Amino acid sequence: MKDTQYKGVNTLLRVYETKLLTREDYEKMLRAESLQEALEVLKSTDYHFDDQEILLNKDFDSFLLYRLRMIYEELYEVTPNSEVVQIFSLRYSYHNAKVLLKQRFTDLSLEHLLIPIGKYPVTTIKNLVNTQQSAELNPIMIEAVNEAIADFETYGRVEAADVFMDTYYYKHMRAITDRLKNETITRVADVLIDLDNLSTVVRSINQNKSRSFLHTVLSSSGSIPKQAIINLADQGAVSILNELYLEKPYADKLQAVLSDSKDTINPMLLDKVIDEIVHELMEEGKYQPFGPMPVMAFMFAIEKEITNIRLILVGKDNQINEDTLRERMRPIYGS
Amino acid sequence: MARLNVKPTRMELSNLKDRLAISTRGHKLLKDKQDELMRQFITLIRKNNALRDEVEKELTEAMQAFVVAKSLLNESFIEELFAVPDKSVTLNIQEKNIMSVIVPEMNFTVDEDDKDSEMQYGLLNSNSELDDSIARINTILPKLLKLSEIEKTCQLMADEIEKTRRRVNALEYLKIPQLEETIHYIQMKLEENERANITRIMKVKDMGQ
């Protein structure tokens, strides 16, 4: 696929990005005294909701998800290669598969947890989970679902859904980025998977999980070999960071996650720094006139915008102080 | 104080005296029971208050951490993580007798034996803050369950104290004074009868002379 095919969508995105929340909007929301005040600021932007109803039921996800769904649907229509959009929407597809698998394993009714975002409708994934085959879905996803079902049928472990869906999500993402053959996107995937692996290993070490647990949860689709991470896990998360991530271009940013004594990693800060590193990569590709990077950057921006809005609204609703919210704010597009 | 509506006979007097003896003894016993209940109740309520303060403080902090952690994730993601609980808790209630108050003794058993995986929830759609808040809530859970046991015991004991106090008061201020007054009245009446009788005999004797 030629990069020039993206010129239409990239022009369209220049229009869309004007509708994203600006730093001033966030500032106003953060300084708001109450949830109502924050909602009023949000109402003047491109988010549509009935503030009285939201004040009553506090269902922020309803309108946030609606907006996200609309944007994904539009991007699927206008992007020449839908796989670019899929890099981000895969998270929802695999979430849906996970929900449906758990429903199949436990006979609980979990349909209300499905998120209608993704290349294929939820019914297609439902068919796959029910029949274990699909003519439309990607073979990687079919394999993932079949593996999870086979594991559950052999060992009766419900968490097979979590294990297989999480691992195959990265595998699927890697397969897409390999097919796209775009250098920046490949770099983004490397960074995403490597840093998610780092975050996973830090969280696992903090929870005293075993080596075999790491084998199960770490992805082997990153640029840093999974085995190398596991081998160093005994020496602590800082060793992994120093031995395996020091060569990476984003190494200096990662230094910020080390504690003052340099012997532990702050996992909360790590999650934030990961977003910042990816944000920087996205910023690089944002103004490319051709190619899929601006679409990627826009999707990342909208995902983070939704996260930031949810953070502020939930924070205001629960009287969380401004500094705590500021600390957790994710990067803002164009800044 | 109202007197009992009884005939002033020696038989009644004897009955009433028996009843008074039983009432006084009952009153003493109930008073002792009330005192002991109060003593145990006060100890328990102090423990309850301390535990409640501790649990409330920890729970508020943990819930606040949870709210912040969950605000960074989609609501459906969070619900999915905990849709299928990874452990189950069995509650075994036994009865304990404190001064004839039947209070529950709760034993919670967390069934983790049948679980050979360390995976509590998927790590993809969760974050480290969520790990922390869940771990904190997990540590509070035993205290919360203990608190529920103590609070229920306090409630049951308070009911029993209330009931005993009413009984003690009824005996002390109503039953015993009534009995005493009636006994006094019968005794007076009997003495009066006695005196009337003697006077009558003396009069009869005078008439014969």
What are B19-74's pLDDT values in tens digits?
A: 999 999 999 999 999 999 999 999 999 999 999 999 999 999 999 889 988 888 88
SS3 A258: strand
Any residues with CB less than 8 A from the CB of A91 and at least 6 apart, and which? A169, B124, B125
Give dist(CA A329, CA A308) in Å, integer: 6
**How many angstroms separate the CA of residue A82 from the nearest CA in chain B?**
23
What are A220-255's pLDDT values in tens digits?
A: 988 999 999 999 888 888 888 888 888 888 888 888
Please say if the pLDDT value at position A335 is more than 60. no
**How many angstroms separate the CA of residue B142 from the nearest CA in chain A?**
19
Asked if A202 and A259 touch (Cβ cutoff 8 Å), the reply is no
Indicate the residue of A94, A158, A314 with minimum beta-carbon distance to B84.
A158
SS3 B20: helix
Looking at residue A168, the DSSP 8-state letter turns out to be H
Give dist(CA A190, CA A179) in Å, integer: 14
In the structure, what pLDDT confidence band is assigned to residue B115 with cuts at 50, 70 and 90?
low
Q: Which of A268, A274, A305 to mutate to test the interface with B (most CBs of B within 10 A)?
A: A268
In the structure, what pLDDT confidence band is assigned to residue B194 with cuts at 50, 70 and 90?
very high
Using CB atoms within 10 Å of the CB of residue A277, give its burial: 0 to 12 exposed, 13 to 18 middle, 19+ buried: buried
All residues of chain A having their beta carbon less than 8 Å from the beta carbon of residue B116 are 157
Give the range with max mean pLDDT: A80-89, A326-335, B115-124.
A80-89
Tell me the two tokens of residue B44: 């328990």
Thinking of the domain A1-81+292-335, which architecture would CATH place it in? Orthogonal Bundle (1.10)
What are B153-175's pLDDT values in tens digits?
A: 999 999 999 999 999 999 999 99
SS3 B91: strand
SS3 A235: coil
Give dist(CA A65, CA A70) in Å, integer: 9
Q: Which of B63, B68, B115 to mutate to test the interface with A (most CBs of A within 10 A)?
A: B68
CB contact under 8 A, A98 and B67: no
Q: List beta partners, residue B98.
A: B101
Average pLDDT score over residue span B103-107:
87
**How many angstroms separate the CA of residue A102 from the nearest CA in chain B?**
8
**How many angstroms separate the CA of residue A4 from the nearest CA in chain B?**
34
SS3 A151: helix
Give dist(CA B42, CA A196) in Å, integer: 54
Report the pLDDT value the prediction gives residue A98, as an integer from 0 to 100. Answer: 93
Tell me the two tokens of residue B90: 């069995």
In the structure, what pLDDT confidence band is assigned to residue B125 with cuts at 50, 70 and 90?
confident
Give dist(CA A283, CA A288) in Å, integer: 10
Indicate the residue of B64, B117, B129 with minimum beta-carbon distance to A159.
B117
Tell me the two tokens of residue A91: 């998270």
Average pLDDT score over residue span A301-321:
92
Which residue, chain included where needed, has tokens 């974050």? B127
Between the two ends of chain B, the Cα-to-Cα distance in Å is 48
Strands, E assignment, chain B? 88-98, 101-111
Give dist(CA B9, CA B24) in Å, integer: 22
Which residue, chain included where needed, has tokens 């459906």? B76
Which residue, chain included where needed, has tokens 């924070």? A315
Give dist(CA A194, CA A220) in Å, integer: 9
Indicate the residue of B74, B83, B135 with minimum beta-carbon distance to A61.
B74
Residue spans per domain, chain A: 1-81+292-335, 85-181, 183-290
All residues of chain B having their beta carbon less than 8 Å from the beta carbon of residue A61 are 74-76
Taking CA–CA distances from B65, the nearest residue in chain A reads A320
CB contact under 8 A, A324 and B68: yes
- Average pLDDT value over all residues in chain B: 90
What are A78-97's pLDDT values in tens digits?
A: 888 888 999 999 999 999 99
Report the pLDDT value the prediction gives residue B119, as an integer from 0 to 100. Answer: 75
Please say if the pLDDT value at position A143 is more than 90. yes
Closest by Cα among B99, B106, B91 to B43: B99
In one letter, which amino acid is A9?
V
Give dist(CA A214, CA A199) in Å, integer: 12
Kindly report the pTM of this predicted structure.
0.84
All residues of chain A having their beta carbon less than 8 Å from the beta carbon of residue B132 are 268
Q: How many CB atoms lie within 10 A of CB A132?
A: 12
Report the pLDDT value the prediction gives residue B147, as an integer from 0 to 100. Answer: 93
Residue spans per domain, chain B: 10-113+129-198
- DSSP-assigned letters across all residues of A45-96: TT----HHHHHHH--HHHHHHHHHHHHHHHHHHH-SSHHHHHHHHHHHHHHH
What are A1-57's pLDDT values in tens digits?
A: 666 777 778 888 888 888 889 999 999 999 999 999 999 999 888 888 898 999 998
**How many angstroms separate the CA of residue A273 from the nearest CA in chain B?**
13
Give dist(CA B89, CA B155) in Å, integer: 24
Please say if the pLDDT value at position A333 is more than 90. no
Any residues with CB less than 8 A from the CB of B159 and at least 6 apart, and which? none
CB contact under 8 A, B123 and A311: no
In the structure, what pLDDT confidence band is assigned to residue B112 with cuts at 50, 70 and 90?
low
Question: Given this structure, which CATH class describes domain B10-113+129-198?
Answer: mainly alpha
Report the pLDDT value the prediction gives residue B113, as an integer from 0 to 100. Answer: 53
In one letter, which amino acid is A167?
T
The secondary structure element, H or E, covering residue B68 is helix B10-71
Please say if the pLDDT value at position B18 is more than 60. yes
Report the pLDDT value the prediction gives residue B106, as an integer from 0 to 100. Answer: 85
